[in-house]
Structure 1
Amino acid sequence: MIFLKYAGDKFEERKQEIIKEGKKRYIDMVEFYTMKNVFYLPEECRWSVIINSAKTNVKGLALTIDTALSTIEKKNPSLKGALPDNYYSRLSLDSSKLASLLDEINNIKTLEDKEKDIIGRVYEFCLSKFALAGGKGKGEFYTPKAIVNLIAEMIEPYKDKIYDPCCGSGGMFVQSMKFIESHNGNKRDISIYGQANTATTYKLD
């Protein structure tokens, strides 16, 4: 759902840019979004439509979300295999709770302060809570931020290559990039490589 919110906000931002450029007739052309690295979203996949569904068809909300994710993946080949398949329908989560969660995510201003990486911080927070709730077994995809920060400070990844054989959710890569930024380095001076042991963990990256 966090992905849907962010993708929806980026889509609407790009849509308004196209209109301001005097090219309103192109607002439904996929290429005008992908050229700016923005995923094109068919109408039924847009965040505003999903939010409205939470109010008018709460019992079918899980199916609405799953259908949106599936459609976005089909419309954007670069996402093939990256999005969950019928995840929310299989969860059997109470519809009212799902709607409440959707409402909370709707309050996130994903584009308000790009420097603070709001969506990245929300994603990291959710991962940490999930790992904590799941116990020892969930450590396969998440390493606490404090530990990753310490490792980044120790290896000082200014240039060359970074390889993480158990990259999980990619925390090592994220913190390495932040280390470079905070020390006025150039992110183009470094290449990152990683492996994941399970398909579920692989999709997190």
Structure 2
Amino acid sequence: MQEIKDAVWEAADRLRGSVDAMDLPEYVGGLIFLKYVSDTFAGNRSELRARLDTEGYDEDRVEEMLEDREFSDKSAIWVPRNARWPYITARTATLHVGEVINDAMYATMLANPTLRGALPTIFGRGTADQERLAEAVALIGRVRFTSTEEGPAPDVLAEAYEFLLGRFGGDSRTPRSVGQLIVGILEPYGGRVYDPACGSGGLLAQAATFMAAHQGGSGDSVVYGQEINERTWRLARMNLAVHGVVSDLGDRWGDTLAHDEHPGLNADFVMAHPPFGVSDWARNEDDPRWTYGVPPPANANFAWLQHAVSKLSERGTAGIVLANGSLSSRSPSERRIRQALVEADLVAAIVALPGQLFHSTRIAACLWVLAKDKPADHRDRILFIDAHDMGTMVSRTERVLDDEDLAKITGAYHAYRNERGFCFSAGLKAVRRHEYDLAPGRYVGATTQPRALTKDLYGVFN
């Protein structure tokens, strides 16, 4: 993975100055997409060739069958001849390498209807410097996208996208361990999954992977999403395509709070990590989504929560990551909405998350779990989980939730149990007594030992 990140960084650095910095994720992301699908296609062809040779076909017939889509994996992306990496690299010495890449993008979209409009076609002359573009092609050509100990090949590609976006396009990703937590709590075994702020598609890919694993690997899940940034919307479509996920991210990119691309959707699961602290958002006081109160103009937290509720089916559940301010803000309008959500018995659980999980901000965050139809013994109760001191530092600036942490949090949620200093199932009377302040620390009680400090020290001395 580090080799891939190094190549991605060098390719972006080579193009920098030749193209706008905000366009770098699309240029480099497009190249690594072509390299990935070409590597995967070549690997599939090698396996098919070996099988055909074993079955006794002569060479001419084997070559014919390799180019016949009827014999290929129908779920895989078909790569036309002029989009295969060897074809592209053989033509990088020309002054028209950008047109070669554009032609490859068009051919791939034509051959794969789910990719229509998803791939960038910005490589022609008059945009990037063609010599630098050829150098970037050579750098990306050094790596091979295959499964590693760190994850399957599609996940490796997704991490490369996330690295790109984090460095050059703003951080639109949900950390993998946070995604695992949301999926582990919601357990989307089947149905419609929706992310209204899908970024590069990481959460949807994790949900679809979970569904496929629990449906016997059928791989026929459909996920829905929306993304405000055009470049990130394209990357999300590419990311989901290489995961073999059938997705509907709307006809185009757009602001979910201003214009919903999925107005008739009733989702079984809503999962989202919307941007923190959005102010001056597209606020319409007459919007029918504001069932529990009109969110204030200075913060979109309760717009995202109510949008999620509006999308849930009668038995749907949602997991929404927000800044901790959403739990205890004293703004009158936010407090009223928080109270209304609690009194409507929509809040199933609140999880206080540790700091330094998110690359783009040090703001403390939490996970809201909403449910339209709670089990009978959970009604009029909220489970509070205080995980703020969990996780392990994997670098000076990044903390992750490991498998043990994830198992502890998701286990507590599904058991709906009490554990002093960690989790507590509080009735509505207790919540009213705390004036609808939902910070878990108010409910779970004190713990005698800081978990994260203990874990970090254990790592130092062992």
Q: 2 CA distance for matches of 1:17 and 1:7?
A: 15
Indicate if the aligned counterparts of 1:142 and 1:171 stay in contact, CA closer than 8 A.
Answer: yes
AA at the equivalent of 2:83 = C
Partner of 2:88: 50
More strand by share: 2
1:2 aligns with 2:41: no
1:130 aligns with 2:161: no
Query: How far off its partner does 1:187 sit?
Result: 5.2
Partner of 1:76: 112
Q: 1 CA distance for matches of 2:203 and 2:37?
A: 24
Partner of 1:97: 132
Query: How far off its partner does 1:4 sit?
Result: 1.2
DSSP-derived class of the 1:116 partner = coil
Structure 1 unmatched ranges of 5 or more: none
Partner of 1:186: 214
AA at the equivalent of 1:164 = D
DSSP-derived class of the 1:92 partner = coil
Q: Deviations over 1:89-108 (max 9, x none)?
A: 27822333322322232222
1:174 aligns with 2:205: yes
Query: How far off its partner does 1:119 sit?
Result: 4.7
Partner of 1:109: 144
**Which is bigger in relative contact order (C-alpha 8 A, separation at least 6)?**
1
Q: 1:192 to 1:89 in 2, by over 3 A?
A: same
TM-score, normalised to structure 1, is 0.72
Decide which of 173, 176, 195 is 1:142's aligned counterpart: 173
Indicate if the aligned counterparts of 1:30 and 1:40 stay in contact, CA closer than 8 A.
Answer: no
Give the count of matched residue pairs.
Answer: 193
1:63 aligns with 2:114: no
Decide which of 35, 44, 49 is 1:19's aligned counterpart: 49
DSSP-derived class of the 2:194 partner = strand
Instruction: Say what the alpha-carbon RMSD is for the aligned residues.
Output: 3.5
AA at the equivalent of 1:172 = L
**Is 71-80 or 87-96 further displaced after alignment?**
87-96
Q: Deviations over 1:49-83 (max 9, x none)?
A: 111222x22x2111111111111222333322222
DSSP-derived class of the 2:197 partner = coil
Q: Deviations over 1:149-205 (max 9, x none)?
A: 44445x252635543222222221334467789xxx72569x664321447244323
Question: What are the equivalent positions in structure 2 for 1:152-167 lying under 5 Å apart?
Answer: 152-153=183-184, 155-157=185-187, 159-161=189-191, 162-167=193-198
Q: 1 CA distance for matches of 2:208 and 2:224?
A: 14
Q: 1 CA distance for matches of 2:167 and 2:148?
A: 28
Overall identity of the aligned pairs, in %: 24
1:28 aligns with 2:67: yes
Query: How far off its partner does 1:48 sit?
Result: 0.4
TM-score, normalised to structure 2, is 0.36
Indicate if the aligned counterparts of 2:88 and 2:101 stay in contact, CA closer than 8 A.
Answer: yes
Q: 2 CA distance for matches of 1:151 and 1:51?
A: 41
Max Rg structure: 2
DSSP-derived class of the 1:89 partner = coil
Indicate if the aligned counterparts of 1:163 and 1:193 stay in contact, CA closer than 8 A.
Answer: yes
**Is 104-113 or 141-150 further displaced after alignment?**
141-150
Indicate if the aligned counterparts of 1:14 and 1:38 stay in contact, CA closer than 8 A.
Answer: no
Q: Deviations over 1:36-57 (max 9, x none)?
A: 6340412x22110111222x22
AA at the equivalent of 2:137 = L
Q: 1:114 to 1:98 in 2, by over 3 A?
A: farther
